[in-house]
Amino acid sequence: MKIASWNINGIKARLDNLVSWLEDSRPDIACLQEIKSVDEGFPREAIEAVGYHVETHGQKGFNGVAIVSKQVPDEVNRGLPLLSPGDEPDEQARFIEGVFSVRGGVLRVVSLYLPNGNPVDSEKYPYKLSWMQRLEKWASERLMLEEPLVLAGDYNVIPEPFDCHDPAAWEGDALFREETRSAFRRLENLGFTETIRNTTDAEKTYTFWDYQAGAWPKNNGIRIDHLLLSPEAANRLEAADIEKYVRGWEKPSDHVPVVAELAFQPA
């Protein structure tokens, strides 16, 4: 099965690109972020027309995540649970989990859009760290199920200095602060395998290029889109790739798809 993650940066602006990519790449499950659409306004018909089922968790104009898949999920869960029941509700649509039947069991796939966190001297950075803490707690509980789990998404985390073209330019940024990277490492250290760095140590390996200053043609990018695999999923990892070619299309997203091939068969 081919699992993909792509921050589409607005489904209505990028619908033609998404449909072309689905027809070309043919992922079994594609996790989308920043759909920027309410659920009822999502243009599902065009996606269903090329053979995909659609599940969304959206909000008006901001954020929003989706899972599009060749098979219908058995279960869908929307929203990342709070740390404790008394916490204030989180209205931001950043998390959706689908459970799919595969031969021998199930495969859990999450599409997540982790908060950016900038500016760091505002309430946005504590929210980012709190969200990461909630994700770590949720993931640790899911791992107890000992089932294949894929956490796919735009993490807004640059894990290491070699994951950006100019580390000095990102010093102090919420994506690269030590607190952010430490939180990401804690998540990984629960037992997850990060697909791209598990399959290549190539330099200048990026998933995002800003629209400004010629970042794309200069390859001045950063790597912030990741697929994390539980041990049961990592055992089935066959290949991983970054499908950079879509960044050269007309009206592209500033992100590109990250994909992994896992040795699962639909039930």
- Which residues are tagged catalytic? 113, 154
Strands 149-154 and 225-229: antiparallel
User: What is the C-alpha to C-alpha distance for residues 244 and 266, in angstroms, rounded to an integer?
Assistant: 27
Ramachandran angles phi, psi of 216, nearest 5°: -65, -55
Specify whether the CB–CB gap between 226 and 260 falls below 8 A: no
Helix (H) or strand (E) holding 54: strand 53-57
What are 5's strand-pairing partners? 31, 258
Angle at 240 between CA 79 and CA 257, to 5 degrees: 55
User: What is the C-alpha to C-alpha distance for residues 203 and 207, in angstroms, rounded to an integer?
Assistant: 12
Task: Extract the tokens encoding 53.
Answer: 């089922």
